[in-house]
C-alpha cells in the first residue's frame, strides 16, 4: 500500500459536500502532527492583535491556566475534526465553545480573523513542511469545513470564497498586527508553557529556537527576538528531512487525533463539562447540563 492511497481517496471526494470527511482524514491520518504544530502558530498569531490579546490577558487564563487553555482549545478543534459538526458529539463541543465565548465581548472581525487562521496556517505549514503539500481540493475542503463551523458560531460576513477569505486574513494582519504589552504577556506565558514540555537540560536551547519558524511581523507584534540564524537553518532543514522520510512510510492505519492522545491537563481523561475556564465551569455546567457526550 503506497503513501498516497489516502490522498487518492480524498481526491475522489467533493470539497464542499465531503468537507467533514476530508478534514477528518487530513487531521487524523495524513497530517496529525503537522496540523497541531500549525494551530500552535495560529494561536500565536492571534496574540499579535491587541484587541484579542487584551481580552485574553484580562481573563487571566493565559497567566494562571496556560496549559488548560491550550489543551481545551486543542480538544475542541480535535473533536470537531474527529466527529464533524454534524455529529452529536461534535455539536456538543461546538455548543460548549459557543457558551464559553458568549461570556466575553468578542468583535465579529476578530472572530473572523481567528477562524481564518484555522484554515490558512495548516495549509501554509503543510505546503512548507508537510510530507506533501495540500491539494487544491483539500484546501477548498478546509475552507468549507471552517466556514460551516463559523456559521454555527454565529459569525457573520464570512468571505464567500477561499481566495476572498485568504485576502481577509492577510489584510487583517497588515492592519492589526502591532505590538502591545498584552500581546507579549500572553505570548510569553504560552512560551513558558511550551518550554515546560522539554527536559530541563535543553530548555535554554529550546527557548532560543521557538521563534525560528515565525515571520518578522509576528515576532515584532509579540516583542520577541528572532532565533539565531543557525538554529533557524537547522530546524527548517530537519523538518524538510522529516517530510522526505515520511513519504516513504505506509499510510497511517490508525488515527492520531489530538483528543485521543495523552493530554497534560487531563491525566484521567476528560468530558464535555471539564472544558472551559475554571472560574466559569460551575456556571457553564449549570447552563449546559452535566452529561458527557
Q: At what angle do helices 108-129 and 162-176 cross, to 10 degrees?
A: 110
Residue 109 lies in a domain: yes
- Grid coordinates representing 220 are 515584532
Please tell me which residue, 249 or 37, carries the higher pLDDT value: 37
- The answer as to whether 229 is a domain residue is yes
According to the model, what pLDDT value does residue 184 have? 97
User: Is 140 a member of any domain?
Assistant: yes
The 10 Å Cβ neighbour count of residue 104 is: 12
C-alpha cell at 246: 515520511
Give the pLDDT band of residue 288 (cuts 50, 70, 90): low
C-beta separation of 73 from 43 below 8 A: yes
Please give the residue that has the higher pLDDT: either 293 or 2.
Answer: 2
Q: Which three cell numbers stand for residue 242?
A: 522529516
Give the whole-angstrom CA distance, residue 292 versus residue 97.
Answer: 15
Q: Is residue 219 part of a domain?
A: yes
pLDDT grade for 101, boundaries at 50, 70 and 90: very high
Can you say how many angstroms the Cα of residue 278 is from the centroid of all Cα atoms in its chain? 21
pLDDT at position 144: 98
pLDDT at residue 5 tops 90: no
Rounded Cα–Cα distance for residues 20 and 87 (Å): 10
Whether 291 maps to a domain, the answer reads no
Per-residue pLDDT at 279: 82
Residue 237 lies in a domain: yes
151 falls within a domain: yes
Of the candidate ranges 79-93, 164-178, 244-258, the one whose mean pLDDT is the lowest:
244-258
Domain assignment present for 221:
yes
Q: Which of 123, 114, 100 is nearest to 48 (CA)?
A: 114
pLDDT band at 1 (very low <50, low <70, confident <90, very high): very low
Per-residue model confidence as pLDDT tens digits over 9-27: 999 999 999 999 999 999 9
Q: What percent of the chain has pLDDT over 90?
A: 87
User: Looking only at Cα atoms, what is the longest distance across the chain?
Assistant: 53
Query: Smallest Cα–Cα separation from 169: which of 118, 96, 233?
Result: 118
pLDDT, tens only, 39-93: 999 999 999 999 999 999 998 877 889 999 999 999 999 999 999 999 999 999 9
Please tell me the distance from the alpha carbon of residue 150 to that of residue 199, in angstroms, as a whole number. 38
How many Cα atoms sit within 13 Å of 72 on the Cβ side?
A: 20
Determine the structural domain holding residue 227 and report its residue range: 13-276
Cell reading at 6: 489516502
**215-220 mean pLDDT:** 98
Domains contained in the chain, number: 1
Phi, psi of 132 (to 5 degrees): -155, 155
Short-list 91, 84, 73, CA closest to 258: 73
Amino acid at each position: 500500500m503506497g503513501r498516497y492511497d489516502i490522498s487518492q481517496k480524498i481526491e475522489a471526494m467533493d470539497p464542499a459536500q465531503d468537507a467533514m470527511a476530508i478534514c477528518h482524514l487530513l487531521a487524523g491520518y495524513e497530517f496529525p502532527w503537522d496540523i497541531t504544530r500549525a494551530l500552535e502558530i495560529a494561536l500565536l498569531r492571534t496574540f499579535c492583535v491587541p484587541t484579542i490579546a487584551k481580552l485574553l490577558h484580562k481573563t487571566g487564563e493565559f497567566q494562571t491556566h496556560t496549559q488548560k487553555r491550550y489543551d481545551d482549545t486543542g480538544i475542541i478543534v480535535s473533536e470537531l475534526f474527529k466527529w464533524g459538526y454534524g455529529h452529536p458529539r461534535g455539536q456538543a463541543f461546538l455548543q460548549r465553545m459557543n457558551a464559553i465565548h458568549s461570556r466575553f465581548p468578542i468583535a465579529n472581525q476578530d472572530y473572523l480573523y481567528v477562524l481564518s487562521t484555522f484554515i490558512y496556517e495548516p495549509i501554509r505549514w503543510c505546503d512548507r513542511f508537510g510530507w506533501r503539500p495540500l491539494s487544491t481540493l483539500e484546501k477548498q475542503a478546509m475552507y468549507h469545513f471552517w466556514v460551516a463551523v463559523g456559521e454555527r458560531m454565529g459569525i457573520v460576513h464570512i468571505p464567500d470564497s477561499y481566495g476572498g477569505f485568504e485576502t481577509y486574513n492577510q489584510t487583517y494582519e497588515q492592519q492589526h498586527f502591532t505590538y502591545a504589552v498584552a500581546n507579549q504577556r500572553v505570548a510569553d506565558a504560552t512560551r513558558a508553557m511550551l518550554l515546560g514540555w522539554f527536559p530541563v537540560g535543553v530548555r535554554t536551547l529550546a527557548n532560543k529556537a521557538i521563534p525560528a519558524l515565525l515571520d518578522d511581523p509576528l515576532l515584532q507584534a509579540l516583542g520577541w527576538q528572532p532565533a539565531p540564524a543557525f538554529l533557524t537553518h537547522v530546524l527548517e532543514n530537519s523538518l524538510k528531512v522529516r517530510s522526505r522520510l515520511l513519504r516513504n512510510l505506509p499510510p497511517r492505519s490508525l488515527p492520531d487525533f489530538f483528543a485521543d492522545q495523552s493530554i497534560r491537563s487531563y491525566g484521567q481523561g476528560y468530558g464535555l463539562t471539564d472544558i472551559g475556564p475554571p472560574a466559569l465551569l460551575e456556571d457553564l455546567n449549570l447552563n449546559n447540563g452535566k452529561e458527557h457526550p
